[in-house]
Structure 1
Amino acid sequence: MSDAIDYLLQARPEAMQPYFSFLKQSGKKLDPKTRALISVISKVHGRTERGFRQYLTRALRVGCSADEVLDALLAAFPMIGLSGLIWATDILLDMDLPEFKPEALGSEPQWHTVGRIDEIDDGVSRLACDNRELFIYRNGDVIKVYDSRCPHQVTNIPQLALSDCTLTCPKHEWQFDISTGECIAKGNRPLTEFEHKIEDGRLLAYW
């Protein structure tokens, strides 16, 4: 939420609170994916980059696929026009999301080989796997596989952001306990954890 909205909520709560109540109530009969896609389109129509990034992240979090987001943008062409479509696509390219890479479009979730389990030491490793970067936490038989992207605005968190078991996103300083994935400061959402298994001496992750 912007500083301006925060200010108006404090200065004129009697005017602003009914508006936000209306927003919360509107679309309650829609499923989460449809509601999220409508919100994405509304941010493209209004050319609100921060909002577009925020609601695009939310759409992916509630289960929208990259293909569904692209279809929604194309279906909204009569409203957003070519310039709006290009504006949104430029932001998508800047966000560099693995889901939107051409080779990933249309693919179903599958198991990916992260590496040999005997080559993954205790502690935290950062590895690349099939166009995605991962943080691997290992403590003996306990293994966690996380997306390296912050759940806030999908910033790709670097290895240098790790101090002991605390991972800090450099963009907005959300902090995470890498041993659990839980957000411990600033934010309210955990790291994205991928299902994993060990098979034939290999660590596999599912996305």
Structure 2
Amino acid sequence: MSDALNYLVEVRGDALGHYFKFLKDSGKHLDPKTRDLISVITKVHAQTENGFKQYLTRALRDGCTPLEIIDALLMAFPALGLAKIVWATDILLEMGIPEFSPELIAAQPQWRDLMAVADLADGEVRRVDCGARSVFVYREGESCKVYDSHCPHQVTNIPHLALEGLTLTCPKHQWKFDIRTGDCIEKGKHPLKAFETKIEDGRLFARW
């Protein structure tokens, strides 16, 4: 929520509580994905950028695919019109979410060669670019963990400079993550997105 809305909730939560209860109850018979897609459309219709980003990331977390989100926008064309769909698409492109890239949006998951395991010392973390996606790689003994470089809050692409020891801090809203587990340890509650890994012939592969 915005600072203004947080303020109103704090000082007049008794009044706004009824509104938020209505919003929650009005979608209780919908599955999360459908509810999220409808919320995305309403935010595009109202052209509220922060709300659109919020519900877009929530839709992705709840299992909506990028193509489902694009289709929802196109299906709402009679209500939205082309200008608002283009407005939303511009925001999508600015956000730089890898899943929406032409390279990945319709691709089936596949194993991707990241690096030689020997190039990473035990306990070391490295940020690696692989096509449309950047990831953080953490080595622990003979195994490695691979995480998406995008913060699960508002998909900010976290740079390597945000890493201090084994703690990764998103520069936008200071969500902190333990790179050993991917867990959010401060500010937020959603973990970093982790990818399946395997090691073959001394090389590390991740699947997405």
Q: Say whether the fold is shared (TM-score over 0.5).
A: yes
Are positions 1:177 and 2:178 aligned together? yes
Does the 8 A contact of 1:111 with 1:206 survive in 2? Answer: yes
Cα shift at 1:72: 0.6
- What residue number does 2:14 align with? 14
Please give the secondary structure, in 1, of the residue aligned with 2:194: coil
Cα shift at 1:96: 1.1
Superposed CA RMSD in Å reads: 1.3
Letter of the structure 2 residue corresponding to residue 131 of structure 1: A
Given the two structures, how large is their TM-score scaled by the length of structure 1?
A: 0.95
Please give the secondary structure, in 2, of the residue aligned with 1:104: coil
Gaps of 5+ in 2: none
With over 3 angstroms needed to count, the CA separation of the structure-2 counterparts of 1:29 and 1:200, relative to structure 1, is farther
Are positions 1:39 and 2:39 aligned together? yes
Cα shift at 1:118: 2.3
- What residue number does 2:131 align with? 130
Residue identity (%): 61
- What residue number does 1:114 align with? 114
Alignment partners' CA distance in 1, 2:207 and 2:28: 32
Cα shift at 1:27: 1.5
Alignment partners' CA distance in 2, 1:42 and 1:128: 35
Alignment partners' CA distance in 2, 1:101 and 1:193: 19
Cα shift at 1:171: 0.8
Q: How does 1:121-200 map to 2 (within 5 A)?
A: 121-122=121-122, 123-200=124-201
Does the 8 A contact of 1:145 with 1:195 survive in 2? Answer: yes
Letter of the structure 2 residue corresponding to residue 26 of structure 1: S
Given the two structures, how large is their TM-score scaled by the length of structure 2?
A: 0.94
Does the 8 A contact of 1:149 with 1:156 survive in 2? Answer: yes
Answer with 103-112 or 49-58: which moved more.
Answer: 103-112
Alignment partners' CA distance in 2, 1:25 and 1:110: 40
Question: How many residues end up aligned between the 2 structures?
Answer: 207
- What residue number does 1:203 align with? 204
Deviations 1:55-94 (A, max 9, x none): 1111111111111111111001111111101100110110
Q: How does 1:22-33 map to 2 (within 5 A)?
A: 22-33=22-33
With over 3 angstroms needed to count, the CA separation of the structure-2 counterparts of 1:26 and 1:199, relative to structure 1, is farther
Does the 8 A contact of 1:54 with 1:153 survive in 2? Answer: yes
Alignment partners' CA distance in 2, 1:116 and 1:142: 12
Gaps of 5+ in 1: none
Alignment partners' CA distance in 2, 1:65 and 1:148: 19
Alignment partners' CA distance in 2, 1:200 and 1:34: 44
- What residue number does 1:4 align with? 4
- What residue number does 1:82 align with? 82
Please give the secondary structure, in 2, of the residue aligned with 1:12: helix
Does the 8 A contact of 2:103 with 2:132 survive in 1? Answer: no
Cα shift at 1:110: 2.1
Alignment partners' CA distance in 2, 1:57 and 1:116: 32
Does the 8 A contact of 1:112 with 1:130 survive in 2? Answer: no
